[in-house]
Amino acid sequence: MQNDQALNLVVAKRSDFRPAVAGLALLAILSALLSPNPITLLSLVLLVFCAMLASPTLGFFKVNNVNLISVIFPEGKVRLDCDSKGIFEGVLGGGQWCTRNVAVLRIISGRGGVQNLVVFAKQQHSEDDFRRLHTWLRHGSDKRIRQR
């Protein structure tokens, strides 16, 4: 990792996804209503979106009204902090990806559990941390860490 300093990244909360999920639900309902079998597809859409809200979707670390900070150390270790207390520790696993605005990090805990973290660039306290993460993932530094 460049500069050999830990990255402090704000993790997205469940409430950050509400506008996107609501827009997707409206589009799904509209397409179900315009389909040849509107009742069947509308009930299927409602079932899927209600199940998605109730279950842990894709293993993403979801928190409500909690400011969660992901601290990524140069050797690839990750610690999640909430109110200056470490609540989860692990290492970066495979499957990270990053765009200019969003990053998804896969973290493997010592017990073998896998969590995915979503990080938005606009939520960061320092643009430099997200830029360093983006550069680090693009150069494949996370792959070299996993090989150790």
Give 17-66 as a DSSP string: GHHHHHHHHHHHHHHHHTSSSHHHHHHHHHHHHHHHHHS-GGGB---SS-
As a whole number of Å, the CA-based R_g of the chain is: 18
pLDDT tens-place string over residues 76-126: 788 888 766 667 778 887 778 888 888 888 888 777 677 788 888 888 888
Calpha distance 88→58 (Å, rounded): 18
Q: Report angle CA 89, 140, 58 to the nearest 5 degrees.
A: 50
In the predicted model, is pLDDT for residue 148 greater than 80?
no
Same domain, 82 and 120: yes
In the predicted model, is pLDDT for residue 135 greater than 80?
yes
Of 4-13, 31-40, 52-61, highest mean pLDDT: 31-40
Q: What is the mean pLDDT of residues 34-44?
A: 90
CA 63 to chain centre: 11
Across the chain, mean pLDDT equals 78
* Whole-number pLDDT of residue 36: 92
Same domain, 32 and 89: no
Tell me, what CATH number does 83's domain have? 2.30.29
DSSP 8-class letter at 40: H
Neighbours of 138 (CB within 10 A): 10
Same domain, 6 and 22: no
Calpha distance 9→136 (Å, rounded): 14
Same domain, 90 and 51: no
Same domain, 123 and 51: no
Calpha distance 84→71 (Å, rounded): 11
pTM as predicted: 0.67
Please state the domain count of the chain: 2
Same domain, 45 and 85: no
Q: What is the mean pLDDT of residues 34-62?
A: 78
In the predicted model, is pLDDT for residue 142 greater than 70?
no
Domain that holds residue 68: 2-13+60-147
Q: What is the mean pLDDT of residues 123-137?
A: 84
